[in-house]
A and B are shown apart, each in its own frame.
Chain A
Amino acid sequence: MSAQDTFVQRADEALADHDLGRSIRHVTGLLDQRRREASASVPDFEALKDRARSAKLGMLADLEGNLLRFEEKIKANGGHVHWAKDAEDANRIILGILEKSGAKKVVKSKSMATEEIELNHALEAAGVTPVETDLGEYVAQLKGDKPSHIILPIIHMTRQAVADTFNEKIGTHASPDVAQLVEIARKVLRKEFETADAGITGANFGVVDSGALCIVSNEGNARFVTSLPRLHIAVMGIEKLVADLDDLSVFLRVLARSATGQRLTVYSNLIWPGREANDQSGPREAHVVLLDNGRSDLLNSKAAEILACIRCGACLNICPIYKAVGGHAYGGTYPGPMGSILSPALGAKKGSELAGASTLCGACKDACPVKIDIPRMLQYYRTGEKFGKREGLVKGLSFYLFGLLASRPRVFGAFGRLLRTIAPTGNGWIKVGPWLPFGWTRHRTLKLPAKKTFIAQWKEKAGHG
Chain B
Amino acid sequence: MDDSRGEILDKIRRSRGWLPEAKTLAAALASGAGNHGLTAVELAQRFALEARKIDAEVFEDPTPEAALERLLGLLKDEHVLAWDLDHVDRGVLASASASLEFGKSSDRSRTSLGLTGCDMAIAETGSLVLVAGPGQNREASLICRTHVALVRPSDVVTDLAEALARVDSLGERRAHINIVSGPSRTADIEMTLTRGVHGPKRLVILVADWPRLNKGDA
Contact = CB atoms under 8 A, between A and B. Distances in A.
Interface of A: 23, 26-27, 30, 42-43, 47-48, 50-51, 53-54, 57-58, 60-61, 63-64, 67-68, 82-85, 89, 93, 133-136, 139, 152-155, 157-159, 162, 178-179, 181-182, 185-186, 189-190, 194, 210, 212, 218-221, 223-224, 226-227, 238, 244-250, 252-253, 260, 262-272, 275-282, 290, 292, 296-297, 299-305, 373
Report the 10 A-B pairs with minimum CB-CB distance, sorted nearest first.
A220-B199, A300-B15, A296-B11, A275-B175, A54-B22, A136-B188, A278-B175, A304-B18, A83-B5, A220-B198
A167 to B, nearest CB: 15
A351 to B, nearest CB: 21
Contacts, number: 259
Contact of B185 (A54, A263, A266, A268): A266
Contact of B19 (A47, A60, A178): A60
B96 to A, nearest CB: 24
A264 B167 contact: no
A297 B142 contact: no
A260 B193 CA distance: 12
B-side interface size class: 35 or more
Contacts of A139: 188-189
Nearest to A30: B191
A412 B9 CA distance: 53
A135 B198 CA distance: 9
A57 B184 contact: no
B138 interface: yes
Contacts of A305: 18-20
A46 to B, nearest CB: 11
B125 A264 contact: yes
B197 A51 contact: no
A178 B194 contact: yes
Interface of B: 1, 4-5, 7-9, 11-16, 18-25, 29, 31-33, 50, 54, 103-104, 108, 124-125, 127, 132-134, 137-139, 142, 159-161, 163-165, 167-168, 172-192, 194, 196-200
Contacts of A292: 4, 8, 11
A282 B175 contact: yes
B56 to A, nearest CB: 11
Contacts of A238: 8, 12
Given A218-B185, A219-B186, A269 B177 contact: yes
A212 B188 contact: no
Given A272-B174, A279-B176, A296-B8, A162 B191 contact: no
A264 B123 CA distance: 12
